[in-house]
Structure 1
Amino acid sequence: MEIRKDFFTGRASMDLQESAGIALFRASVREFIARLVPGDWQGIGALGPTGRRDFTARAREALAERGWVAPTWPAEYGGAGLGPAEQIALGEELVRAGIPTGAENDTFGISMLGNTMLQHSSPELCRRFLPRLVSGEYVFCQGFSEPGAGSDLAALATRAVREGDRWVINGQKLWSSSAHLSNWMFVLARTDPEASPYKGLSLLLVPLDQPGVEVRPIRNLTGETHFHEVFLTDAVTDADLVVGQEGQGWPVAMTLLNFERADTYVLMPIRLRDELDRLTDLIVSRGLRDDPDIRQRLAWCHVQVEQLHCQSLRLATRLAGGHEPGPQAAVVKLLTSEYHRKATELAMDVLGLDTLTPTGDPSPNWYYTDDAGAPNSSASWTSVYLNARAATIYGGSSQIQRGIVGEMLLGLPKEPRPRPAAAP
């Protein structure tokens, strides 16, 4: 391994030695970034709401022109045909420079749905949807969780009934992030009510712009409404808009969730390193650098971020070898969620009473850390702290991730389900 200085931040980091081809590609990404950002660029976190929105749209358009919104997809689908190693290098450079890798809903449409369709859908369905995902014409949200089926997803009750050349769907979906920005939803629904819980499910592509769909916002602890509940009342979609085979929705959904975790957590340690630098600056500015408790907790944070970096490299190596993320993604998700909860608790203790009357701008990025270049305001840290607690639940709770790791990686026996109490 070698120690090098990051191109934009000048901070020391450790990276595996790269081939000449990857190094040249990384250099081309840096040239692209240098042309995209102004000379005084500090990161998108330093911009106001309007500037952030305008820059994100401009950056996404520039990335799409190069096929870099979905870099590993074939060119016929709007991608660039890059390998996983180039994809990782691209993501690293963008995140280090404080540039968004896509729009808010691209996690759902590109990372999760698009990659899953490449593995499970016909070329005809891919040609219909994937280029429109890249262009931004189709904007997707997720329709998995329900009021009675969160971590136990197989208990979902949403039904889809085949009527001629269409599906008629009835049910309710919960915690659908950014549904208000979407015009499509991928919906996991029960298409065979007679089958066992893990059978008879299908993943359907459902347009939201129709009378049978109602989207309601859910206000969270920070006062934001990123989450929504979606009511489907005789909503319809074409019979052929099924990802994979009818009745095989469970393995398709598991592929999709693994892509969600892998795409997010391969690059997350870079964001966490930037945040850790901000946390260190906050401690110094508050005159607490010599406090023994604070020093010990900060040292723990440094160790954890380096460990997460190693875990992400292991996951990236798996992806570069052409393998699906698999249960290894659960390890990184678990460690990241639990680390971030404790790191932001440290920030709250450093801020003290200022957390009761936060000042400055709250973090606009509800998904883990604030963006690169964000100010060290109490409002930013408070909102990130609250969302860090939610991160141990959404995307699969920490308890669920421990179960995946124990059963699928460590080979531990499954925990028996508790039996209902006998009637008196």
Structure 2
Amino acid sequence: MERGTPPRRSVFLKLLPWPERVEVARALRAETVGGVILLAAAVVALAWANSPWRDAYARVAAYHFGPAAIGLDLSVAHWTADGLLTVFFLVAGIELKRELVLGELRTPAAAALPVIAAVCGMAVPAALYVAVARAGGGSTAGWAVPMATDIAFALTVLAVLNTHLPSALRAFLLTLAVVDDLGAIIVIALFFSGHLAPAALGGAAAGLVVFYLMQRFRVRGWWWYVPLALVIWALTYNGGVHATVAGIAMGLLLRTRRDEAAGETASPGERVEHLLRPVSAGVAVPLFALFAAGVSVSGPALRAVFTAPEPLGVLVGLVAGKTLGIFAGTYLAARFTRARLNPDLAWADVFAVSVLAGVGFTVSLLIGELAFPGADEAGHVKAAVLVGSLIAAALATLFIRRRNRVYRRLWEAENSPGDDHSVPA
């Protein structure tokens, strides 16, 4: 570079390379299908819990089964939250590992902007919740509820809109959600764990070390990994840490880079994700939603969402906090890193994605259950999650619809035969 020449500024939300666009498109298709099933499960839960058969719903959710001798005599609702949702976090861990090794987060410079945006998108909603709860004299226990983005529900909104959102914006939303999942699991592990049992946690840690060594020495065969994973999960649960932590830990330990010298056509992470993503999106998360989203939508319950400090804090955090946090974090990070926005896009597009990130469901409902063990409080907070997500989806619809003509033009340019980036080199 010649003396006096200003440093070249990186482009934010530029057109992604072909391999990355293929990977993003594949992940988003699966998430979208899962979001539709998730939405159906939530509708069934709401209808069932507000029908004349609501007592049957409560009985099914409270039914206990499992081996009591090892501390696993759990209710159906508990099994879906601690058991099946571990599969969801295992897949999330694999996604995060892939981003760290092969994706946008593999270099500090590329990772800085989406990570800062995601962190701000978690911190601002939490701060707004605390401010609203304290102002109303309520509990601050639910500060983490509005922190998470539900990527499946958000993508379902995009599918319903039939939008042509550019792949870079979709990848940005996916990255935000992946970092959100990591933040949520750290929060759950640190702040929503029960009384710790050091012996069980030590056993879980030892199991994770064995898991890592098996990956390192290229041990193959599901008959080794499945029993070990179940032992790690059970020890984590009995250790007092929320069992979903075991899922994301094992996901982060799976290799996501292929060992070509060993003749691998797919990495262990790719194979496990391929097998478990349909289970996560089509079974685990919908069943969790079925027994977590069944809240009363009566007049008093809905009135509490806008008047009681805790649910109002969740509502404000999801709708205003996520938008303000992600947009301000993105803007400031771009200024700090001297990145310039893709000239084909505008900051209004970043704002629309920030609003869409306020669609929180799966993880928000989980944290709501952990933060508010009481049935009435938990019900009001869950109702606030549902209402806040619907408001965020409606507002995002307005903003995205206004720009859909621009998105369609960019989408057509990305996929045109003359685009050198649209075909493999």
Per the TM superposition, whether the score is higher than 0.5 is no
| Bin of the TM-score, shorter chain as denominator length | under 0.3
Greater share of residues in strand: 1
**TM-score, with length taken from structure 2:** 0.25
Instruction: Give the TM-score, by structure 1 length.
Output: 0.25
